[in-house]
Amino acid sequence: MMDTIGADAPFPNLRGGDSVLVIGGTGMLAPAVGDLLAAGLRVVLVSRRASGFAAAQHPLLVAVDADWADPGFAVKVMAAIDPDTLRVVILWVHSPYRDSVSIALHSALPQSVRFVRLGGSGGGDPRQAAVTAAPLPGRKVGEVFLGSLMDSHGVRRWLSHREISDGTLAALRGVASRTVIGDFRAGNGL
């Protein structure tokens, strides 16, 4: 199990007034969103039900209700952000929309904005999907690969929301281009 680091550790290259765009952050990334807000960062949170998110009334949070499948998704997102203060995009977007959302935002945002993309292991080893993912030339991209862990009874389990959030924030804090949380053993039942 990972240590819980939350908002206590600093975010290098981010300071108050900087913005982070989190797409798909109302579920398993909810603890990460809370930690970013607690660190004094502005968060633009995009999901189908972002306005119903528990922290939607936080003064540093902008909640945007939008669906990846909507052809106007990128336009709606771009209308909600300030590209001059945006430093990072955290993407938890499933196939078949992952590449189209990544490319649309990559094309619209300054090259200085770093991307952190998450990939789950529900459909197999997410590292393989990253190999075939659309490239984002000239951009710093961190990939976070979500696996499973062994519990105290020797049974494989999914990662908790806290573990996923901590791994994502560790990728945001670090310079590593790939972060693996858990493992991807074949036949793990997940």
Q: For residue 124, what pLDDT is reported?
A: 65
Average pLDDT over residues 63-89: 93
Do the beta carbons of residue 96 and residue 123 sit within 8 Å?
no
Alpha helices in the chain (DSSP H): 30-38, 73-80, 98-108, 126-132, 161-173
Distance CA 119, CA 35 (A): 21
Q: How far apart are the first and last CA of the chain?
A: 17
Q: 3-class SS at 63?
A: strand
CB–CB of 79/93 below 8 Å? Answer: no
pLDDT tens for residues 152-175? Answer: 888 888 889 999 999 899 888 886
**What pLDDT sits at residue 175?**
60
Beta-carbon-side half-sphere exposure of residue 118 (alpha carbons within 13 Å): 30
Q: Residues, the chain, total?
A: 190
Give the burial string for 153-184 (b: 16+ CB within 10 Å, else e).
eeebebbeebbbbbbbbbbbeeeeeebebbeb
Report whether 80 contacts 108 (CB < 8 A): no
Q: Would the pTM count as exceeding 0.75?
A: yes
Chain CA centroid to CA 57, Å: 21
Res. 114 pLDDT band, cuts 50 70 90: very high
**At residue 123, does pLDDT exceed 90?**
no
The better pLDDT of the pair 45, 10 is held by 45
Residue 189 is predicted with a pLDDT of 42
Q: State the Cα–Cα distance between residues 145 and 2, nearest whole angstrom.
A: 14
